[in-house]
A and B are shown apart, each in its own frame.
Chain A
Amino acid sequence: MAGTKEIRTQIKSIKNTQKITKAMEMVAASKMRKAQDRMQESRPYAQKIHDVIGHVAMANAEYKHPFMVEREVKRVALIIVSTDRGLCGGLNTNLFKKAVIEMRRYRDEGVEVDLCVIGSKALQFFKRLGGNIVAESKDLGDRPHINDLIGSIKVVLDNFRDGKVDRVVLLENKFVNTMTQQAQATQLLPTAPSRDESLKHHWDYIYEPDTHPVMDTLLERYVESLIYQAVVENVACEMAARMVAMKSASDNAGTMIKDLQLVYNKARQAAITQEISEIVGGAAAV
């Protein structure tokens, strides 16, 4: 019975792993629902700001905020939103692949690339890759707060305002549905406000204190809210991806246990048969 004991321990260890993956799957499922709710909650703010900016840009067509002016691109900043923890399938890998392709494309054009990484997975990856990381935020948890992002965003916005960076691109995972998350690159700055042409009758706001400072704050908040949304969405993506990955891990553990059980039964039966035939052989010899 030498082989059977080893198989038994192995079955036990796989069963333990399965318990863990099952628990992780269920935790991820419940967290995903909460993350999706938070995604919905952050939408009205961004929508409203977007509308207001569109209107202000309409009313003050002659004023061009620096955030809206296209410049010759010499240096871009990539903001990469990743997760803090692993075990979530190919979520981060797909995003990083996209990021690396973007980086190579810019470098081929002779454009330099700055990186602003959010999430410790991106930090690890791009540190090893050797990117020029200008700012990072990590350990955001399942309920990210905008406070934790302000610093990194400000570094990028300041660089843009000072002309050190001519374009800001956000790389994020879009939550399509539970099974699908898509890596996507969106240009944040310079931004082109959508001009609402339906506003035929001309009216304008009273500004307090003045058009420009108000516009300044608005645009800054707008960019921040977009990045915050990406971070919240990324949490939902992370949970969905982890749920799927853990489900398949649990299933795989199940098949493995089944296979091992079969091997174990066979080995046990062989041992019994052998023992009986030895006894019978012994009895016949007497």
Chain B
Amino acid sequence: MPMNMHVDVVSAEESIYSGTALMIAAPAEGGEVGVYAGHTQMLARLNPGELRILEKEGAEPQPVFVSGGILEVQPYHVTVLADTAVRAKDLDEAEAIEAKKRAEEALANSKADFDYAKAQAELVEAAARLQMIQKLRRK
């Protein structure tokens, strides 16, 4: 009788899969690894690819797509910490440059935004004045 183990696939945004399974195949960086219950503790980085979860003997394996992440194996408990986004090093770099540029741009064309802030302040003042007038009129 083959033993079952518990499998959790979680991402930062949500829980993707949770249940018992017989075997799980994961795309680790050094090649695909298959994990059965009773596997020794292991921590592996995953490549983007397909995670296959075999729930029981003879069943179709359940495919779950991961775009990278970390696989943690305990003898009877497997956790996949999946990345939600497609993470390539150069892609992250591009995002970082983008974020920096946005900050610089925002600082550079501060004129438009400053006017907005000023307008807002003026609006608040005008509203307060209006309220005052109304109060006086009511008396």
Q: Do residues B45 and A209 form an inter-chain contact, with CB atoms below 8 A? A: yes
Interface residues of A (CB under 8 A from B): 38, 41-42, 44-46, 48-49, 52, 56, 117, 123-124, 127-128, 133-138, 145-147, 150-152, 154-155, 158, 203-209, 213-214, 217-218, 221, 224-225, 228, 263
Residues of B within 8 A of A45 (CB): 10-12, 81
Please report whether the interface of chain A is mostly helix, strand, loop or mixed according to DSSP: helix
State the CA gap A213–B30 with chains docked (Å): 13
Q: Which of B10, B42, B84, B100 contacts A48 (CB 8 A)?
A: B10
Q: Does B79 contact A (CB under 8 A)?
A: yes
Write the nearest CB–CB distance from B18 to chain A, whole angstroms: 9
B12 touches A48 (CB 8 A): no
When distances are taken between beta carbons in the complex, the residues of chain A under 8 Å from B85 are 145-147, 150
- B33-75 CB mask vs A (1 if < 8 Å, else 0) is 1000000111111000000000000000000000000101100
A42 touching B45 by the CB < 8 A rule? no
Known: A49-B81, A208-B29. A135 touches B99 (CB 8 A): yes
* A135 B100 Cβ-Cβ under 8 A: yes
Provide the residues of chain B in CB contact with A138, threshold 8 Å: 102
Looking at the assembled complex, report how far the CB atom of A243 sits from the nearest CB atom of chain B, in whole angstroms: 23
A155 to B107, CA, bound (A): 17
| Closest beta carbon of chain B to A2's beta carbon, Å | 13
Chain B residue at minimal CB-CB distance from A158: B96
* Interface pair B103/A214, CB less than 8 Å apart: no
* Pick from B12, B84, B94, B106: contact of A133, CB under 8 Å: B106
- Cross-chain contact B44 with A207 (CB below 8 angstroms): yes
Question: What are 9 A-to-B residue pairs whose CB atoms are below 8 Å?
Answer: A127-B113, A128-B117, A135-B100, A135-B102, A205-B43, A207-B42, A213-B45, A217-B70, A228-B12
A136–B43 CB distance below 8 A: no
Interface members, chain B 92-113 (any A CB < 8 Å): 92-100, 102-103, 106-107, 110, 113
Q: Nearest B residue to A152 by beta-carbon distance?
A: B99
Q: Beyond A44-B8, A45-B12, A151-B97: 7 further Cβ-contacts under 8 Å?
A: A38-B13, A42-B14, A124-B113, A133-B103, A133-B106, A145-B85, A205-B72
Given contacts A133-B107, A134-B103, contact A209 B30 (CB under 8 A): yes
Chain A nearest CB, measured from B4 CB (Å)? 20
Residues of A within 8 A of B7 (CB): none
Minimal Cβ-Cβ distance residue in B for A208 = B44
Q: Which residues of B contact A152 (CB under 8 A)?
A: 96, 99
Does B72 lie within 8 Å of A44, measured CB to CB?
no
Residues of B within 8 A of A158 (CB): 96
**Chain A residues with Cβ under 8 A from B106's Cβ?**
123, 127, 133, 136
Is the CB–CB distance between B107 and A206 below 8 Å? no
Are the CB atoms of B95 and A127 closer together than 8 Å?
no
Contacts of B8 in A (CB 8 A): 44, 48
Given contacts A155-B100, A208-B42, A214-B44, contact A128 B114 (CB under 8 A): yes
Q: Known contacts A128-B117, A150-B85, A155-B96: does B42 contact A135 (CB below 8 Å)? A: no
